[in-house]
């Protein structure tokens, strides 16, 4: 799954939408990557896309990334 600019979506990425610049990717259904608080059992039925948790907007599921969704910072890889 990719952002509109072609960069790959990673769980933990910080993204912005409108005035909310602190959304975090909490699972990438298309890649089968989930977080403890957002497990496959809860979201796998959607089959594709990714979910972002925004402080202002709440959880938003994307089948594909919208042009307005902007990568702010890349998830830490722990390296």
What is the block-wise mean pLDDT of the chain (79 residues), using blocks of 10 residues? 93 93 96 96 97 95 92 77
Q: Please report the pLDDT score of residue 77 as a whole number.
A: 61
CA angle 53/69/5 to nearest 5° reads 130
Domain boundaries, the chain: 14-73
CA distance 28 to 53: 12
CA–centroid distance for 70 within its chain? 11
Q: What is the pLDDT of residue 79?
A: 43
């Amino acid at each position: 799954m990719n952002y509109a600019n072609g960069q790959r979506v990673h769980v933990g990425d910080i993204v912005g939408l409108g005035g909310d610049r602190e959304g975090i990717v909490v699972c990438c259904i298309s890649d089968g990557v989930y977080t403890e608080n957002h497990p496959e059992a809860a979201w796998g039925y959607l089959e594709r896309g990714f979910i972002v948790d925004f402080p202002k907007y709440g959880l938003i599921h994307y089948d594909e990334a919208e042009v307005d969704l902007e990568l702010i910072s890349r998830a830490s890889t722990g390296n």
